[in-house]
Amino acid sequence: MIEYLFLITGIIGAAFSYLVVIEKRLYRAALWLMLFLLSVSTLYVILGSGFLGAVQIIIYVGAVITLLVFTIMLTRGEEVAD
């Protein structure tokens, strides 16, 4: 049962990582990246390393994605119409 859960979570993570690469909008790419990192932390929990999964969520999903979204918001200039 654990093997199937691991396989399904891995496939979902691979799909999220593919969506990060092909997405044209930065906010949606950040959302897909967040979901990919959550799937990675789920894989850690499935493998029995709950602490590493929690650290993955706190550091990467909590801090890095928040910093990335703020950076996108602050560096986006007004789009000039021709």
**pLDDT, tens only, 4-45:** 999 999 999 999 999 999 999 888 998 999 999 999 999 999
Distances in Å between the alpha carbon of 54 and those of 29, 31, 61, 76?
22, 19, 10, 32
**pTM for this prediction:** 0.82
pLDDT of residue 77: 60
For tokens 């928040």, name the residue: 66
Question: What are the boundaries of each domain within the chain?
Answer: 2-75
Domain 2-75 falls under CATH 1.20.120.1200: yes
Q: Return the closest-CA partner of residue 65 out of 75, 74, 54, 57.
A: 57
Distances in Å between the alpha carbon of 24 and those of 7, 8, 39?
28, 26, 22
The token pair at 25 is 């909008």
